[in-house]
Amino acid sequence: MMLDYRRTKNLLLTLAFAGPSGVLADSYKLAYSVPFAPKNTTSVDQSIVYNGTYYLSDRVNGGVHVVNLAGEKQTHLVSGFAGLFTANGTNEYDISGPNGLVVLPNRNELYVGDGAGTVRVVDLFTNEITANISIGVSTRADEMAYDSKTGIVVVTLPNEKPPQVAVISAKDRTVTGKVTFHNASELEQPAFNELSRKFYVSVPSTGTNPGGEIAGLDVSTFQVTDILPLSECVPAGIVFGADQNLFISCSQTQIETYDVAFSQVMDVSTGKIVAKISGVAGSDQVAYDPNSKLYFASAYQNQVGGKKGGAPMPELAVINATSNTIMQTWPTDNKLAHSVAVDAKTNLVVVPLVKSGITVYNLTTASSSSKPLSSSGTASTTSSTAAVHTTNAANHWVPSASLVVGVLALAVPFIGY
């Protein structure tokens, strides 16, 4: 018997599922949401949590939202960014901003990628831009990673031809050099590994590896030192879990090109794929919580059945980084929900959604219940699972008619559409 325990402020649901394991499962529930301000948005990018504060890049508002997670409200909008450029009704992401962001905890600074090859430095005590670092290119500065010991920040320039990664010394805010990716179409997330003390970059596709690769960098010689090929992935977001395990999300292009859908975990010390997580694809940003040992994938462009041409099935997927299996999914949207961040201190997970704004979910541990839960225990019926998200034994959301019925019937305050 697998039990799934969720609680909201107004409602206690104890949900029982038929399952083989006999374990009490943890699960996420909706906590609250913060409306976008000053304007609703149609284009956000990356997000991150630091010291209980959530930061989200928003191109329409031309700034970074600052949300106090404990206070459940927005406290600032860091302004001074390029904003969203459009031409003939099409968003021009290659020159817009803000885009990727990274916190430099030992400096209490947020680096934010912006249009016109600029990285803006935000002082996290004043929430103001205190410096601009010019990379010397006309297209946007995008995603970043940081090594706090050496003070090195790497930032992708995905729209340069060819794409490049610029290396910045945070101490003197200068660009020390660039790594050029001659055969890559674009670049995605970089990540720093504490064990190997090396930066890695997600490369969606190259002439040699059309399904993508993970590239290891030497940031003193500005060379690619490792090429770890991927098969049928076309990766986007990456994040390190424990040791040298890299969680790799694959993009919607994976589904549309190869008619498959999976995420994967690579051991970067060997380049071997140690796990494939079937059914989770179409993600952009991913996150890891070292406290709960969970990965989060913003699978906003996932498709039903993992099939080419399949109907949209935008969802947030929570993956247990110990067993590399899906713990839970819930529906999101295929517009703003390509961003996900987690607070490792509180386990709160944050996803921007068109309908509800900046939306926060809370991890509820079954073991935190004083009484063991049982199928004959408290609260309501299994049909109420649909109110949060329909699940199978793996807690994987599946869009269905019963989902809609469940939502209407129970009116649980889930706002994930």
Ligand X SMILES: *[C@@H]1O[C@H](CO)[C@@H](O)[C@H](O)[C@H]1NC(C)=O
- Which residue ranges make up the site for ligand X (CB under 6 A)? 26, 31, 40, 51, 80, 87-88, 108, 124-125, 129-132, 182-183, 207-208, 292, 294, 320, 322-323, 327, 355, 362, 364
CB of 402 to ligand X, least distance (A): 25
Can you tell me whether residue 401 is helix, strand or coil? Answer: helix
Sign of CA dihedral 252, 258, 260, 265: negative
Distances (CA, A) of 225 to 46, 151, 182: 27, 20, 14
CB of 307 to ligand X, least distance (A): 28
Can you tell me whether residue 218 is helix, strand or coil? Answer: strand
Query: 131 or 195, CB closer to ligand X?
Result: 131
Query: 252 or 364, CB closer to ligand X?
Result: 364
Query: 132 or 392, CB closer to ligand X?
Result: 132
Can you tell me whether residue 314 is helix, strand or coil? Answer: coil
**What would the DSSP string read from start to end of 238-260?**
EEE-STTEEEEEE-HHHHHHHS-
Our measurement of the distance from residue 126's CA atom to the centroid of its chain's CA atoms, rounded to an integer in Å, reads 26
CB of 128 to ligand X, least distance (A): 8
Which residue has its beta carbon closest to ligand X? 207
Query: 221 or 323, CB closer to ligand X?
Result: 323
CB of 309 to ligand X, least distance (A): 27
CA–CA separation, 306 and 313 (whole Å): 9
CB of 89 to ligand X, least distance (A): 9
Structure tokens at 4: 């799934």
**In the block, residue with structure tokens 């990766």:** 235
CB of 93 to ligand X, least distance (A): 14
CA–CA separation, 11 and 228 (whole Å): 48
Sign of CA dihedral 356, 360, 363, 369: negative
- Other beta carbons less than 10 A from residue 27's beta carbon: 24
Q: Which amino acid is at 127?
A: N
Residue 342 DSSP one-character state: E
Query: 153 or 303, CB closer to ligand X?
Result: 153
Query: 87 or 311, CB closer to ligand X?
Result: 87
Please compute, for residue 1, the number of CA atoms within 13 A of its CA located in the half-sphere on the CB side.
Answer: 11
CB of 165 to ligand X, least distance (A): 16
CB of 381 to ligand X, least distance (A): 23
Burial zone of 95 (CB within 10 Å; 0-12 exposed, 13-18 middle, 19+ buried): middle
| 60 Cβ contact partners less than 8 Å away, ≥ 6 residues apart | 39, 40, 41, 42, 43, 44, 83, 84
CB of 29 to ligand X, least distance (A): 8
Query: 43 or 402, CB closer to ligand X?
Result: 43
Burial zone of 222 (CB within 10 Å; 0-12 exposed, 13-18 middle, 19+ buried): middle
CB of 103 to ligand X, least distance (A): 9
CA–CA separation, 34 and 53 (whole Å): 13
Query: 306 or 353, CB closer to ligand X?
Result: 353
Query: 209 or 384, CB closer to ligand X?
Result: 209
Query: 100 or 117, CB closer to ligand X?
Result: 117
